[in-house]
């Protein structure tokens, strides 16, 4: 991503976007771009398809934004759309999943599929916080601000997520 997204709460950005503020929705796209792509990639296992699905997700979210009742839940809602889009893409294209060995491990786009699967298997809130922190680069306090949660809650859920990921089989073996 070109620029680090602001830490204005999702709720405010959604309200502004509904009022026609282009920059507000662009900020949401920037904020959740990596998370949406990660959800899509977790299902499609292909960077190009995942980016296409991510684009579709944001276009669809923009069209349906007025239907979102609880605006503070934008991130959760968006990632659910991303999952639906990626599953539809996989069904429509009958995607052949590429071999994991095809990824160049030295490439910056090489993906640790085991780790990604573990992240995707986390409970919804933990997964979202992990992705905002590690994928989009937000600090814990910024995540608390963005998602309108107490900072203690975010910290606790991040710690839980970290423990779960630490216990994954590939880590235990190290």
Q: In the complex, which residues of this chain contact other proteins (CB under 8 A)?
A: 1-2, 22, 25-26, 29-30, 33-35, 37-38, 41, 51, 54-55, 58-59, 62, 108-112, 115-116, 119, 130-131, 134-137, 158-159, 162, 165-166, 171
Is 94 or 107 the residue whose CB approaches other proteins more closely?
107
Cβ contact 85:53 at 8 Å: yes
Buried b (16+ CB within 10 A) or exposed e, 94-126: eeeeeeeeebeeeeeeebeeeeeebbbebeebb
Cβ contact 86:39 at 8 Å: yes
C-alpha distances in angstroms, 31 versus 1, 16, 46, 48, 78?
9, 15, 21, 19, 11
Q: What is the nearest approach in angstroms of other proteins to the Cβ of residue 114?
A: 10
Q: What is the nearest approach in angstroms of other proteins to the Cβ of residue 68?
A: 16
Q: What is the nearest approach in angstroms of other proteins to the Cβ of residue 142?
A: 15
Is 94 or 174 the residue whose CB approaches other proteins more closely?
174
The 10 Å Cβ neighbour count of residue 32 is 29
Is 59 or 97 the residue whose CB approaches other proteins more closely?
59
Give which of 23, 41, 11, 18 is closest to 135, Cα–Cα: 41
Q: What is the nearest approach in angstroms of other proteins to the Cβ of residue 22?
A: 7
Is 22 or 69 the residue whose CB approaches other proteins more closely?
22
In angstroms, rounded to a whole number, what is the distance separating the alpha carbons of residues 45 and 26? Answer: 26
Is 89 or 158 the residue whose CB approaches other proteins more closely?
158
Q: What is the nearest approach in angstroms of other proteins to the Cβ of residue 123?
A: 17
Is 31 or 90 the residue whose CB approaches other proteins more closely?
31
Q: What is the nearest approach in angstroms of other proteins to the Cβ of residue 59?
A: 5
Cβ contact 49:95 at 8 Å: yes
Cβ contact 79:128 at 8 Å: yes
């Amino acid at each position: 991503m070109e620029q680090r997204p602001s830490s204005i709460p999702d709720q405010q950005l959604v309200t502004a976007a509904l009022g026609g503020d282009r920059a507000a929705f662009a900020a949401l796209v920037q904020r959740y771009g990596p998370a949406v792509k990660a959800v899509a990639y977790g299902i499609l296992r292909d960077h190009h398809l995942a980016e296409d699905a991510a684009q579709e997700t944001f276009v669809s979210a923009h069209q349906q934004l007025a239907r979102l009742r609880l605006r503070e839940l934008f991130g959760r809602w968006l990632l659910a759309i991303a999952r639906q889009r990626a599953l539809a893409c996989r069904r429509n294209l009958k995607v052949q999943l590429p071999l994991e060995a095809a990824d160049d491990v030295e490439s910056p786009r090489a993906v640790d599929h085991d780790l990604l699967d573990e992240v995707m298997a986390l409970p919804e809130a933990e997964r979202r916080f992990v992705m905002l922190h590690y994928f989009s680069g937000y600090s814990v306090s910024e995540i608390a601000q963005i998602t309108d949660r107490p900072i203690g809650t975010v910290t606790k859920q991040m710690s839980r997520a970290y423990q779960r990921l630490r216990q994954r089989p590939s880590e235990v073996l190290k």
